[in-house]
Amino acid sequence: MLQGKTVVLGVSGGIAAYKAVELLRLLTKAGAEVHVVMTKSAREFVTPLTFQTLSGNPVHTDLFNLYQEQEIGHIALADRADLFILAPATANLIGKIAQGLADDLLTTSVMATKAPVLVVPAMNSNMYENPLYQRNEKLLIEYGYHLLEPDSGELACGWEGKGKLPDPEQILAAAKSALSPKDLLGCQLLVTAGPTREEIDPVRYLSNYSSGKMGYAIAAMARRRGASVTLVSGPTSLRVPAGVKCNQVSSAEEMRAAVLEVAAGADVIIKAAAVADYRPVSRSGQKLKKTGDEMVLELEKNPDILAELGADKGELILVGFAAETERLLAHAAEKLKKKNLDLIVANDITREGAGFNVDTNIVRFLYADGKVEELGLMSKEQVAERLLDQVAELWKAKRR
């Protein structure tokens, strides 16, 4: 979402200005060209040289400084920006923008831009709760500004409360959301992710190598595109994407129950989880001890959640995944037809960059009409974006 985009990062005068340095690093790592604008107060907390070194661009501070072929500074910044981020945004900065005041380079640039503006407040909790500030915040939202709420916790002033600048990773996600198309607005979307665990005894279980990264990427991207997203996740170490409702489960039966609970209200279900096909017939209440050279473990079949959904899906759009080691297209096509899917995402996990626990994937989309689309090596976020392009088209067609 940020590759090749121009981001103007506005830094105002608060102790949280130091976190903007890490945000700048994340933005440039994501492929954005970043131009930093600092208020006079911000320069009391972090030097412009720090931001200039990391961005590779001069830091803008002076309203009356002409640069680059005599362009007027605030107009040039406003025109070139694909996105403005104000982080940290103080109560003073938010108040001035809400009232239409423009008395420095940052406020005049925001006033002149037609790019989306992401406002990330950071201040003392009493200031945040002040009704005058709350009025200004509501005004910005009414005017179409994107606002990321501050976190709660211990503040730099020693107070406990709401007003902390969110983690830079959260701000980065909000920036991507601000640039994403909202073609899934109003869509109720359910995603499953991760492995399941089928317990043998209190210390052992059957599972697989799924990390959940693909499903979490889909959930995050769908939320950015406006969908109301529920994520049903097996055990992972991943952070739940901002704005996504998550139900944590362990076994296949728990996942089935969680999925069926919300499936009736869903417009789209994307089953990216790697659900165990079998479970032990019985679970020992105590740790099993070695009793000989061999142990026989009796298994029984788990419920097929995807087939159950496909059997009576009505207007539901249903997407499955097929992770294979051989005969990729044949196995995926069989699963697509047998489980009554609209689309299946197939990948050969033996290929480098396409298996479990990596950040990339190599997939093919197989459609119900027989069409096959092959994608090259991509990040899982890019695969999620391409998949949701197709889902959005299917959803629009269903609505028509």
Q: Compute the C-alpha angle 371/374/379, nearest 5°.
A: 135
Residue among 46, 53, 40 at smallest CA distance from 20: 46
- Side by side, the strands of the sheet bearing 268-271 are 245-248, 228-233, 188-193, 268-271, 317-324, 343-348, 364-367, 372-374
Would you put residue 74 in left (φ > 0), alpha (ψ -120 to 50) or beta?
alpha
246 catalytically annotated: no
Show the tokens assigned to 39.
């208020």
b/e sequence 158-192, b meaning 16+ C-beta within 10 Å:
eeebbbbbbebebbbbbbbbbbbeebbeebbbbbb
Task: List % helix, strand, coil for the chain (3-state, nearest 5).
Answer: 35, 25, 40
Residues β-bridged to residue 364? 346, 374
Active-site annotation holder among 75, 101, 132, 157? 157
Query: CA 10 to CA 88: how far, in whole Å?
Result: 8
Q: What are phi and psi of 292, to 5 degrees?
A: 180, -170
Query: CA 51 to CA 34: how far, in whole Å?
Result: 10
Would you put residue 279 in left (φ > 0), alpha (ψ -120 to 50) or beta?
beta
Whether the ω angle into residue 88 lies within 30 degrees of 0, i.e. cis, is: yes
Query: CA 218 to CA 235: how far, in whole Å?
Result: 17
Would you put residue 69 in left (φ > 0), alpha (ψ -120 to 50) or beta?
left
> DSSP secondary structure string, 49-70?
HHHHHHHSSPPB--TT--BTTT
- Asked if residue 85 lies in contact with residue 10, where contact means CB atoms within 8 angstroms, the answer is yes
Q: What residues contact residue 293 under an 8 Å CB cut-off, 6+ apart?
A: none
Q: Which residues are catalytic?
A: 157
